[in-house]
């Protein structure tokens, strides 16, 4: 008998025309369920020949905007509306999504650090392996929807990587602009790092990941921009007819291309305590400017400890929870991309 590529099975036929809603059955043998499965939800919509767009959310379980927008998209799309194939996994790390945690409550792993996964590994590794070895070979364009989760908040941003393939990089930039979020971050990464997007890059697949907001919320405005952006991507890549709804036509600026590649982009809490922001998301700060301070309620004679921006630029990310530990990122400062 030929050993299957993955231990995960599904009744979905990826080559069949029409709309199929089902799950990926991940074997999970636990104290509570000896022969159980974890059913990862999947929707596949296919109409004839054409490119395959693969859209994912819930890689981190406390990032809610992507799963919500993708479930709505999966419900809305019909084969008649598209040309090609759309694969949607709204809650790729389902156990983490159900628990509202960044990492899996089953094996403690951060799914976006373990790509390409392992066939016989723990549950998070098995899911990453299935995605890498079954779904990515079908994929032309991959979009992974993240956000800041419970501990961070972004100005809605789409992130792309500098690629060895300059033609693909140019097309990725165009796709990022078509999606239409306020910020586009261009990352220069030196190694794979177990990241989903780097697995796509190594396989020659155009990919980006969005950071839609965060703070444990599903924001009305961000969700609206995301839903418009998803439709724009389908139109941009020719899977759907219709005109792209640009940010300008909604009365807001085109995406601003920026970068946070300098390690000094991040400001960290210098000690454990309560953090007070002096500036908010979208503020322009100077290098050396005090952007907040840590208070010490258990040792109130101690003066608050100031936190300074280590470079000038735009504050694109902040930590909303007031309680901080030494080493937590409290802010990220971006500069315009000059590449
Ligand atoms: Zn994430």
Helices and strands (H, E) in the chain, number of each type: 6, 19
pLDDT the model gives residue 57: 98
| CA dihedral angle for residue 192, residue 193, residue 194, residue 200, rounded to 10 degrees | -30
Q: In the predicted model, is pLDDT for residue 234 greater than 90?
A: yes
**Phi, psi (degrees; rounded to nearest 5) at 188:** -115, 110
CA angle, residues 155, 160, 162, in degrees to nearest 5: 135
Closest to 262 measured CA to CA, from 187, 322, 155: 187
User: Cβ atoms within 10 A of the Cβ of 21, count?
Assistant: 13
| Whole-structure pTM value | 0.96
CA distance 139 to 325: 40
User: Cβ atoms within 10 A of the Cβ of 178, count?
Assistant: 20
CA distance 254 to 301: 48
Q: In the predicted model, is pLDDT for residue 175 greater than 90?
A: yes
Closest to 55 measured CA to CA, from 90, 21, 79: 90
CA of 103 to the centre of ligand 1 (A): 10
CA of 101 to the centre of ligand 1 (A): 11
CA of 149 to the centre of ligand 1 (A): 7
Q: In the predicted model, is pLDDT for residue 1 greater than 80?
A: no
In 153-263, the DSSP E strands lie at 153-154, 157-161, 183-187, 206-211, 256-259
pLDDT tens, position by position, 26-71: 998 888 889 999 999 999 999 999 999 999 999 999 999 999 999 9
CA of 159 to the centre of ligand 1 (A): 12
pLDDT tens, position by position, 279-338: 999 999 999 999 999 999 999 899 999 999 999 999 999 999 999 999 999 999 999 999
CA of 102 to the centre of ligand 1 (A): 7
Q: Are 330 and 274 in contact (CB under 8 A)?
A: no
pLDDT the model gives residue 32: 86
Percent of the residues in the chain that have a pLDDT greater than 90, as a whole number: 96
In the chain, the DSSP E strands lie at 9-10, 18-27, 37-47, 52-57, 84-89, 141-146, 153-154, 157-161, 183-187, 206-211, 256-259, 266-268, 273-277, 284-285, 290-295, 305-308, 313-318, 323-324, 329-336
CA of 144 to the centre of ligand 1 (A): 9
CA of 147 to the centre of ligand 1 (A): 6
CA of 48 to the centre of ligand 1 (A): 33
| CA dihedral angle for residue 247, residue 231, residue 217, residue 320, rounded to 10 degrees | -40
CA of 35 to the centre of ligand 1 (A): 30
CA distance 237 to 85: 11
CA angle, residues 11, 92, 119, in degrees to nearest 5: 70
pLDDT the model gives residue 29: 85
Q: Are strands 256-259 and 183-187 parallel, antiparallel or unpaired?
A: parallel
CA of 201 to the centre of ligand 1 (A): 18
CA of 211 to the centre of ligand 1 (A): 7
CA of 305 to the centre of ligand 1 (A): 29
pLDDT the model gives residue 2: 83
pLDDT the model gives residue 300: 84
CA of 112 to the centre of ligand 1 (A): 7
Please give the helix or strand (H or E) that residue 289 lies within, else none.
Answer: none
pLDDT tens, position by position, 65-103: 999 999 999 999 999 999 999 999 999 999 999 999 999
CA distance 132 to 115: 7
pLDDT tens, position by position, 108-127: 999 999 999 999 999 999 99
pLDDT the model gives residue 45: 98
Please give the helix or strand (H or E) that residue 196 lies within, else none.
Answer: helix 196-202
**Site of tokens 């084969």:** 79
Domains of the chain plus CATH, in order, are 9-259 (3.40.630.10), 263-336 (2.40.50.100)
């Amino acid at each position: 008998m030929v050993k299957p590529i993955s231990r995960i099975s599904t009744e979905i036929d990826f080559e069949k025309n029409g709309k199929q809603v089902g799950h990926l059955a991940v074997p999970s043998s636990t104290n509570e369920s000896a022969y159980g499965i974890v059913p990862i939800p999947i929707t596949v919509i296919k109409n004839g020949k054409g490119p395959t767009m693969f859209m994912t959310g819930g890689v981190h379980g406390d990032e809610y905007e992507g799963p919500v927008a993708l479930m709505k998209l999966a419900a809305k799309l019909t084969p008649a509306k598209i040309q090609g194939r759309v694969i949607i996994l709204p809650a790729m790390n389902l156990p983490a999504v159900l628990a509202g945690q960044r990492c899996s409550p089953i094996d403690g792993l951060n799914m976006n650090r373990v790509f390409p996964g392992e066939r016989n590994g723990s549950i998070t590794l098995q899911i990453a392996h299935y995605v890498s070895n079954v779904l990515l070979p079908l994929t032309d364009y991959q979009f992974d929807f993240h956000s800041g989760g419970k501990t961070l908040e972004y100005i809605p941003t789409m992130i792309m990587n500098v690629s060895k393939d300059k033609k693909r990089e140019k097309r990725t930039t165009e796709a990022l602009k078509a999606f239409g979020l306020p910020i586009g971050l261009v990352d220069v990464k030196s190694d794979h790092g177990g990241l989903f997007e780097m697995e796509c890059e190594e396989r020659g697949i155009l990919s980006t990941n969005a950071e839609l907001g965060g703070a444990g919320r599903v924001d009305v405005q961000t969700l609206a921009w995301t839903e418009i952006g998803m439709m724009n991507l389908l139109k941009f890549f020719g899977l759907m007819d219709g005109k792209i709804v640009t940010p300008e036509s909604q009365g807001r600026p085109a995406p601003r291309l920026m970068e946070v590649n300098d390690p000094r982009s991040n400001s960290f809490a210098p000690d454990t305590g309560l953090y007070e922001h002096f500036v908010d998301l979208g503020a322009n700060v100077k290098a050396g400017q005090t952007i907040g301070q840590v208070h010490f309620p258990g040792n109130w004679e101690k003066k608050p400890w100031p936190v300074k921006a280590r470079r000038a630029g735009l504050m694109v990310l902040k930590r909303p929870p007031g309680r901080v530990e030494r080493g937590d990122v409290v802010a990220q400062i971006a500069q315009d991309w000059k590449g």
